[in-house]
Structure 1
């Protein structure tokens, strides 16, 4: 597996992985919807993409997952620093440590860029495995 910066040419393969990664009805419902999500991500609809922090996992020559990081959350103004808008892995490679490698790489890249913190949001489509991954990486829920 290779981790590398995201490229516009990854759009279709990432849309396929994105669609396959989530249970039906949680994220995109069609490949066209998933492609639109990728287009919106590249266009900055969810915040300005940080290419220095965003990574794509490539397995056997095919993008199979990504961690998408923007400069700051557009949904949670109280959060500082980079914000992970998505982390997804195609089911074909689940259990191979792809998600952990992507998260570790992004957190390390944040530290190397001088960012003191990185945040994310969990929701309906967040799997128990993702919850465990985030907890192992040291992410903690915000306290009121």
Structure 2
């Protein structure tokens, strides 16, 4: 298994319920893909994710079309502020890149840079962890890479994500 995969055992994960006084947390819907593309494009440094806003829009449409795996709508959430998306977490049934990795897999977690530092990453992540656990999943996995900030990596570790042995 690649060393860039992190996994949390949900029965042992130390997380509190997803609550935010800063934003409303709701399930991700394909009808918001254009607005999500704006957040996605803003959230990543140039050259890490989509190179243009049009590419970001295409990637959001592909996400909802299950091009990156079967989207688990009950475990994928959007942070909304005054009706506008400001962050999202997408979870699929399993990784399409790692055939030996079983269980739900986070394909993306991002927050608009103007709203970072408000605990939204933690809120979205704990919402996904809680939903996966509630629906019987034993683990939740993700990949880290060039687009993973130091703050995100620390958050994953605090919430029980570890490298696979």
**TM-score, scaled to structure 2:** 0.85
d(CA) in 2 for partners of 1:62 and 1:123? Answer: 28
Q: Which runs of 5+ in 2 are unaligned?
A: 1-22
1:50 paired to 2:72: yes
Name the SS for the 2:50 alignment partner: coil
How is 1:49-128 mapped onto 2 (pairs within 5 angstroms)?
Answer: 49-128=71-150
Q: May I ask how many residue pairs the two structures share in their alignment?
A: 143
Q: What is the Cα deviation at residue 78 of structure 1?
A: 1.5
**Residues 81-108 of structure 1 deviation map (CA, whole Å, 9 limit, x = unaligned):** 1000000000110000011000000000
1:132 paired to 2:154: yes
Name the SS for the 2:31 alignment partner: helix
Q: Which runs of 5+ in 1 are unaligned?
A: none
**Residues 26-76 of structure 1 deviation map (CA, whole Å, 9 limit, x = unaligned):** 001111010011011011110000001000110122111110000000011
- Structure with the bigger RCO (C-alpha within 8 Å, sep 6+) is 2
d(CA) in 1 for partners of 2:81 and 2:121? Answer: 13
For residue 37 of structure 1, the aligned residue among 53, 59, 76 is 59
Name the SS for the 2:78 alignment partner: strand
